[in-house]
Amino acid sequence: MTTRHFEKRAFQRYPLMLRVSAEISPVTSTSQKRETLRFDVLSSNVSRGGMMVHYNEDRIQQGYSMTLKFPTPDKGLIQLNARVVWTRRNSINLLGRYSAGLAFSERIPDESVNSMLAISS
């Protein structure tokens, strides 16, 4: 008997290797002030609902808000707000020491996904 695997994701994922500027503002435990942390991430896939990214910064945690910024040839600068859904430490530092799954705060339109895909081609 053959078992079929059905995709449960709401949106199609597209492979996308793209360096993106990221910002997070975690609350520090002592002063409750927000310290903005800026760093680059490398995406490996994108959909209308989220993105998988890889990075070397070790202070990112599940639940953090992240802002992603990158230029596109047709839309100018795109800024996306996302929430970190999961994180993991990679056993091999191929794309980055850590990986995270991000859920966009708002579903992005197809033309924004197409703009991102145009950058990588």
Is residue 35 classed as helix, strand or coil in its secondary structure? coil
Torsion of CA 8, 78, 42, 57, to 10 degrees: -100
pLDDT tens, N- to C-terminus, the chain (121 residues)? 555 544 566 778 888 888 999 999 765 555 555 678 999 999 999 888 999 999 998 889 999 999 999 887 777 888 999 999 999 999 988 889 999 999 999 877 777 777 777 776 6
Find the domain containing 101 and state its range.
14-120
> Phi/psi at 7 (nearest 5 deg)?
-70, 125
Query: Is 4 domain-assigned?
Result: no
**Which CATH number belongs to the domain containing residue 112 in this structure?**
2.40.10.220
How do 65-72 and 50-55 pair as beta strands? unpaired
Query: Is 8 domain-assigned?
Result: no
* Tally of domains in the chain: 1
Strand pairing partners for 99? Answer: 54, 88
